[in-house]
Amino acid sequence: MTFWTQKTLAQLSNTEWESLCDGCGRCCTVRLRRANLRLLTRLGCPLLSPETGQCSDYANRHERMAHCKALNPENVGDWLPRTCAYRLVKEGKPLPEWHHLVCGDRERVHEGYSVRGWVVPMEPGMDPMKHLVGHEEG
């Protein structure tokens, strides 16, 4: 058995918590709510690197970006992408086959799911509606 199936999010060690992140970068993109839809955009936090799909200053992200949400077991919810490992574990669902803890390869997430290569860093004055890529219910 695996730690994420044996423990609640609140029971995870810091190392386990950090290792659960799939590294997709989708939680760092701009999402808008309209009625019962969540509109997905190509815009990301200014710290989100388009080349790596990762935060360029992970250690200091909360100090540098006021809107950066500190993820913890209490605030994991439907604001996170549907395939987010934190959300899946909280919902009692399995991790996707491309998750590095399942397949052993941290690069697999970048084969079609991560924001690497398509995210655009948000700059003042940018209109998120001009950068829509899709929507999901919720």
In a domain, 53, yes or no: yes
Report residue 102 CA to chain centroid gap. 17
Q: Are 34 and 44 in contact (CB under 8 A)?
A: no
In a domain, 117, yes or no: yes
In a domain, 109, yes or no: yes
In a domain, 61, yes or no: yes
| Element of type H or E holding 8 | none
Task: Name the CA radius of gyration of the chain, rounded.
Answer: 15
Q: Tell me the pTM.
A: 0.88
pLDDT at res. 43: 94
In a domain, 135, yes or no: no
* Mean pLDDT for the chain overall: 92
pLDDT in tens, 57-86: 999 999 999 989 899 999 999 889 889 999
Question: Which residues on neighbouring strands pair with residue 134, listed in sequence order?
Answer: 40
pLDDT at res. 11: 97
| Element of type H or E holding 103 | helix 100-103
| Element of type H or E holding 124 | none
Per the structure, the complete domain to which residue 103 belongs is given by 3-126
